[in-house]
Structure 1
């Protein structure tokens, strides 16, 4: 029996050790060869301190590097705008045989693209725009038959565009603008959706396969002609004629008559031919001089770096850029302006190329989810009916851009032109409180429990208090769709401080039900009207009813008056959301929050508490409980992310 026990124990020990080894092998999976290739690339390429790869760590954890789910090979390398300088070293990136995406754009790379890039046979997207790369069109790239997007724009490439580009049968996006490519455009049969060869030295007629694109895709090539350009092709660029049949040569009557020409006629013809040649040479000289002058004005200098605070980009499909330190007044007007301490490095052209999805249409404009080429996702709000000047717009953006708090969605960038006003925010993948609270209430719905409702209310109150106390900014448009959520159910307020962009006569109509009574009449928002809107938001959390829904009984009644009428009849329990009934021991907290909400929606503005007081009352409700992360022990809950204590709130807005 003892021997049997020993054998059994040995088997278990062996199994346990094997399992440990198996798990260890899984955890420590490492694309060793790809790691060596990346280290060789970084060691041979001068770069900024932003790229710091720890050789003792897994390459899959490095900045800008993404591996496959099994961490067995490097899937993508994205290093845009990180200060890479000099030539791309050979025998480095070309060894990443499983690479799908490579982005080296907006650096200071020079020299030719290494020929060993032809080994990247699985590559789908290559972005090297906004560098100083030279040489002819990289022949090795025409062997990457799985490429779908190729961007060589804003470099110093020269020579012809090869016909072998037709090997790229999956290509949907080809960007070659702002280079020195010359010669005729080849007929490209790939299924292109995006195409641009503007600001090069191309000549001849535009092939029919490319004539479907806008004229802006061919602008800046003074010798290009044909559809979609306005200039018709001259006899200097005739369409290729069919070859003559040698068996039946065409008749040449002039050859027969030449024998009958007199000597005087021959001299006259010779003189006329000489004069014609002289005239043609003069015309050609004038054309070349005009072409040189137009090219000087059509091709502006490239900016030295895209890591500056403002990125210059023209508002259109053309990707030509103005130097951020100079240029015309119009160029100064057309900038995507980033705020200090931002995490993004893209420009307006990248936004125009991004895939966009409409998230919602609000009272101030439409919001889009934009996914950029390197995988960055942002929210772009396109404002409508802005009535202030550029100077006033910029001043308000400077105020909003300085607001930093964990419960406020940061404004990352803005853009102003005569026709477009854009704001750029972080994308919050968890969605809005409105969608969570009023989404499908069918059998598959997961109810929003009391603890999470309280967490959302508290975190939203902290964000709004920070706006009032530290930022001195009136939100002006508080509603559940502007309360965005993080995965931990913490809330952040968005779309704040936009009211000053609209004149008193053009102030957008806010969603019915959230507006304070005085705002309906004066159309002027204040700190106290924000408190009213937040009180409505608390009632929304307590009742589960949207303020503008029609199921509040009496037609035309708003949520605060409906709650007052129910409470007045002493049916308080009927107020609360039926989804909250299942949770025990929360009645007292619900009643306390209801009292805070009712004080906040007082008809008289002076009778409402300040947001600072609202927040403190909400935290006093749960001061004794600290185990669920809802409570805050700080003496001043409205402190910003830097820990600075805000000044006392004034009774009236600035």
Structure 2
């Protein structure tokens, strides 16, 4: 009887008594085994601590490990078997941006509580294992940019909660199965070796999700059909009709051109209005928006233009560029214009000028210009030929001995600096992730265009006050090409917060130095903090150094602007942009990416975040990231965190 009671007591204890501490101990053992197997000495965990919940990248709930986020921490080798099966309460696993290889461990299929699995940007190989289809709670699965092969299994239909499936840039073959999971709203299989037709269910998805394969149908070009093609051939009569119509159209166009030329030569018509600026396209020319001081008569642009006219020099005419279209105002019109100071920046003072005929332009009065007239005209002509949708175009200029003026379209929306740092009190409208990432992309495209003009072409003064915005928050880069016109008095200290460490002469800023400044701009967008000296007479933060100091400790939500923390469903994209900013601001120029690479990476994360923002299963995706705003993040470039910080 006693042995029976003894055995019964033991069984009762095993089944019903709480086992929290042994479970956490088991979790700790599993984490240490993982660290030992994949070269995780870079994790900087305190191995003497019995509680793993304080380790970087480890998050616990109810005395169990529930999240393990180790992106970009230099892990390599193969994941060991018999480790993840012990982390039974794990619902988020992120090992992206490492150098892990081999096949996925089979015991990963035993973690049935797993909801988010991020394994992108590694070197995993083999077929996508069937045990993943047992993870019935899986909501987001990202296996992109690995070496997975074989076909896409219809077993994904077993994952009835799966909302996101990213399989791009692998070596997958065969066709896309008819994935009918009702929750699946995000799919990307681009750049594999797939063939066949895209299932009709995915017809409304973006074509970019299927590029780089031999696929057709859906959002791509219709599948080739020989039978239907022969029926759709044009008849001989139809072809003849098209040819005759084309000839008649050409003759009519020729007549119109002749008439226009005659009108132009007789002086009866004038060119189109340079100042017909769309009010939806808005900008402030200059660094810091001052505004409020209405100047007219002998003040502002009127006084500037008058002084320019009296100074002799090379005459009283504005020089327009070919892309300016019309020239229906001149320097005399500027003389009579009322003006308002917009801002005083690195290269001069900007004014808003309202001409009598209603045209509104922005005029910048340059200072510290020391180059000879011929060189000035040559360099400014180059600036005037630059034409891109994300640049603020230069419409005209004026040069005399004492005055140099630049004329741009006027856009009253303001600069990124004012948008980020203005009115941080009550009543401010938070600047959301979609807007910030879109601004980053537009600015990157504009700067990348400048760099594409030649290896020695750079901006030289990239900062948030030179990123100007339309009413729809599209970014336009201003003040490009002006750094080579100024004298030695325009020291780099004026842009100290964005200056690359190797820059000693403001007139000699390389493209890689531009990349550094753009990286600081990204940090400013993400943190909401102004770099040192970015705001006139105000203190700022050395953003790269501050971020590096956080890296040495751990990545926390405190890195991001509080206005961004509400957007938990784009957490991965926020971390990716933060990683890109770190890559741009490394000390050695050769280790920084090019602006073309930067633009490509931002385009990719913008596509991903845009899908998240407009996801009809938004509540499902939010369930993925419960509590993530309070947990630690880890980012890196495949190197130990300590080396990234250095």
TM-score normalised by length of structure 2 = 0.46
Query: Bigger relative contact order, structure 1 or 2, given CA contacts below 8 A and separation 6+?
Result: 2
Structure 1 or 2: more helix by fraction: 2
Name which one, 1 or 2, has greater alpha-carbon Rg.
1
TM-score normalised by length of structure 1 = 0.45
